[in-house]
Amino acid sequence: MPYHTEISLLLVEDDKTSLEICRDIIALRFPKMVIHTAGNADEAMAKYKDQGHKIVITDLFPSKKAGIKIAQQVCAINPSTIVIFITADTDTRWDTLQHKAKRLCLEGIIHKPIDIMEVIAKITEAIGILNSHREHNPYDE
């Protein structure tokens, strides 16, 4: 699926090995995408404020507070940013997460262990949403 080179992604994960593997695979699949990484919520928000990423994939982190906080702050800054959550908590369900993070720009949840094909599918879906938004609002960049 074609996309503009200005689509950038912020990948937030506290496990450095998982972060690097995921980043490398995403970069191979989406070679024109600008990918930044962060290992914690503070670093993520500093990079988001500096770069204004279109897609944010974030680990929920312990007790779900950090990931939800990132999503709340990102969506407050730019509601058209797409946020995708990753979690190792198999009890976390999408409907419950949507309820906790009311009215946020959420797109989905991926459970660990990460299925990279699911990550690629979610990113492709997000690109489609962004392209559709851009077609309907060409001056809303």
Whole-model pTM?
0.83
Average pLDDT over residues 73-90: 85
In a domain, 141, yes or no: no
Say how far apart CA 9 and CA 81 lie, in whole Å.
Answer: 10
Residue 29 maps to which CATH number?
3.40.50.2300
4-13, 40-49, 63-72, 128-137 — most confident range: 40-49
Range of the domain at 89: 8-136
Q: Tell me if 87 sits within 8 A of 60, measured CB to CB.
A: yes
Looking at the 3D structure of the chain, how many domains does it have?
1
In a domain, 2, yes or no: no
Q: Is 35 exposed, middle or buried (0-12, 13-18, 19+ CB in 10 A)?
A: middle
In a domain, 24, yes or no: yes
